Amino acid sequence: MSYANLLVAIEDRIATVTVNRPDKLNALNDATIEELGRAIAALSGDAAVGGIIVTGAGRAFVAGADIVELSLKSPEDARRLARRGQEVFARFERCPKPVIAAVNGFALGGGCELALACHVRLASEHAKFGQPEVKLGVIPGYGGTQRLPRLVGRGMALQLLLTGEIIDAAEAHRIGLVNRVVPRESLLETADTLARRMVRNAPLALRHALLAIDQGLEVDLEKGLLLEATLFGILCGTEDLREGMNAFLEKRKAAFRGK
């Protein structure tokens, strides 16, 4: 599958998706949103892919929406754009394989929202995060008002959203927006190492862990516990469970098959 604004590489079961509009700081125009949707759909269904890393080319992860393009949209066009972006980013969030954002630089507006939709966020020490939409007379449209408070809490999310302030990687780590901060030169290597630690585990267990958290956070605790027990029971009937337990008892590396 070919892309104009993305680079997609697969090596040893790890796919790296690079937003590649460095001259525009990887701003999310309509075409890039469409390509991100196609890419995550293809990788989610590719049996050769176990995990996904998302990053940006040049000095930005994604510096936001394409302001020139956005300024020309009518209110109804903008609503449709927001719904389309939300649907695409939901594909990242609901991907049955681990998705890691390797934030190499500016992650502002839609770029911050893309990072929020990934399962884990790593940041280079020079990364910047923010939802500055209010400074342009608008609010986040790709899920920022919903995912940010779920991740960092209502109060901190309101501070970031209402001031439009941009924070550095250290502050993003302090408030729980990112999992880890590393030197820029080792960012992709760190993301790759983390992805490989994840994908060496049972694929069905990874899929069900992601499902339990994604759906469990949207219901009350009792329903979440019921969901967990149901998924636990399903996994206890899989070949991977038997292989994992036999490998543990036999002190060998498990050879999971996703069955």
Whole-angstrom distance, CA of residue 82 vs CA of residue 30: 10
Establish how many alpha carbons lie within 13 A of residue 75's alpha carbon, considering only the half-sphere containing its beta carbon. Answer: 0
8 A C-beta contact, residue 48 and residue 10: yes
Query: Any idea what DSSP says for residue 179?
Result: S
**Long-range contacts of residues 27-30, Cβ cutoff 8 Å, at least 24 apart:** 27/62, 27/63, 27/64, 27/65, 27/66, 27/67, 27/110, 28/62, 28/64, 28/65, 28/66, 28/85, 28/110, 28/111, 28/114, 29/5, 29/65, 29/66, 29/69, 30/66, 30/69, 30/81
Query: Any idea what DSSP says for residue 47?
Result: T
Whole-angstrom distance, CA of residue 44 vs CA of residue 97: 7
Q: Write out the catalytic residue numbers.
A: 113, 133
